[in-house]
């Protein structure tokens, strides 16, 4: 393997084989596959052609080891140019940016079947009918998707309103019982000096005070239009 890599004709031969393979596949696709090239495809062929010429010159000059680095740099520039054209061509085909007027992605025309001699009149009419049905099905699917989106948004809105209503009720209940819990917690500490500890009416007084406090909070919330 190292002997092959050290051979001065190995790199030019690889360049020649790559270029011949790429050009042969492009010509085969055009003449036997029916794929007509656009102007950017032709430019890519020019880049491979330049690289092929550089590879042939480097292969011929290999025995004298003349300018091996220069041939490699020139072949690399040719491949880099072809790659840049290929990247730009890909962007044009995918509608990422505007290309030349001669290069564009072909669009399907349902009426093109009428121009083909491969089908008779009944088959062309049948193809047009199927094409119309498929178009209607696609439109119906789009309409169903839009309706499903509207229903989903409405359900999400209802669930959100219901959740907000429940959270509001729980917040109001917590707001009412928070002062009551504070009073009972304050009176429940086990230290001396709590008023009403020895009085027989202490429990009734605390219950009445808590009831009055709860009613006052309820009236305040109604007055503030929170309820």
Q: What is the pLDDT of residue 140?
A: 92
What pLDDT digit, counting tens, does each position of 143-161 carry?
999 999 999 999 999 999 8
Q: What CATH fold (topology level) applies to the domain 115-223?
A: Methane Monooxygenase Hydroxylase; Chain G, domain 1 (1.20.58)
Q: Which two tokens stand for residue 54?
A: 């550089």
What's the whole-number mean pLDDT along residues 209-218?
A: 84
- Interacting residues of 62 by C-beta distance below 8 A, sequence separation 6+: 8, 9, 12, 68
Please name the residue that has the structure tokens 């001669």. 102
Q: What is the pLDDT of residue 26?
A: 78
- Interacting residues of 111 by C-beta distance below 8 A, sequence separation 6+: 128
What pLDDT digit, counting tens, does each position of 39-55 carry?
777 778 888 888 888 77
How far apart (Å, rounded) are the C-alpha atoms in residues 31 and 158? 63
What pLDDT digit, counting tens, does each position of 162-182 carry?
888 888 888 888 887 888 887
DSSP annotation of 34 reads -
For the range 140-149, what are the long-range contacts, defined as Cβ-Cβ under 8 Å and sequence gap of 24 or more?
none
Greatest mean pLDDT among 60-64, 114-118, 166-170 lies in: 166-170
What's the whole-number mean pLDDT along residues 196-218?
A: 79
Taking 50 as the threshold, does the pLDDT of residue 78 lie above it? yes
Q: What is the pLDDT of residue 3?
A: 41
Ranges in the chain annotated CATH 1.20.58.340: 115-223
Residue 16: CB atoms within 10 Å: 20
Q: Tell me the pLDDT of the chain averaged across its residues.
A: 76
In 3-state terms, what secondary structure has residue 79?
Answer: helix
- Interacting residues of 15 by C-beta distance below 8 A, sequence separation 6+: 51, 52, 54, 55, 58, 75
* More confident call, 123 vs 192: 123
Banded pLDDT at 114 (limits 50, 70, 90): very low
Predicted TM-score (pTM) of the model is: 0.40
Question: What string of DSSP letters covers 113-155?
Answer: GGG-TTS-HHHHHHHHHHHHHHHHHHHHHHHHHHHHHHHHHHH
How far apart (Å, rounded) are the C-alpha atoms in residues 114 and 134? 18
What's the whole-number mean pLDDT along residues 107-116?
A: 47
Question: What string of DSSP letters covers 150-168?
Answer: HHHHHHHHHHHHHHHHHHH
**Is the Cα dihedral 191, 194, 200, 204 positive or negative?**
negative
Per-residue H/E/C for 177-193 = HHHHHHHHHHHCCCCCC
């Amino acid at each position: 393997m190292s002997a092959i890599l050290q051979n001065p004709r190995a790199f030019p031969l690889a360049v020649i084989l790559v270029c011949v393979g790429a050009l042969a596949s492009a010509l085969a696709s055009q003449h036997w596959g029916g794929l007509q090239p656009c102007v950017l495809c032709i430019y890519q062929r020019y880049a491979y052609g330049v690289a092929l010429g550089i590879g042939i010159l480097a292969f011929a000059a290999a025995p004298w080891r003349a300018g091996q680095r220069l041939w490699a740099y020139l072949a690399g520039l040719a491949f880099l140019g072809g790659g840049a054209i290929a990247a730009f061509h890909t962007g044009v085909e995918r509608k990422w940016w505007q290309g030349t007027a001669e290069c564009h992605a072909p669009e399907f025309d349902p009426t093109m079947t009428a121009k083909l001699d491969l089908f008779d009149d009944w088959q062309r009419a049948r193809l047009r009918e199927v094409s119309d049905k498929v178009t209607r099905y696609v439109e119906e699917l789009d309409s169903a998707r839009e309706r499903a989106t509207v229903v989903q948004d409405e359900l999400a809105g209802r669930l959100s309103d219901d959740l907000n209503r429940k959270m509001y009720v729980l917040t109001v209940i917590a707001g009412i019982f928070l002062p009551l819990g504070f009073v009972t917690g304050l009176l429940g500490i086990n230290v001396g000096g709590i008023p009403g500890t020895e009085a027989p009416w202490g429990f009734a007084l605390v219950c009445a005070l808590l009831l009055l406090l709860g009613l006052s909070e309820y009236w305040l919330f109604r007055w503030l239009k929170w309820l």
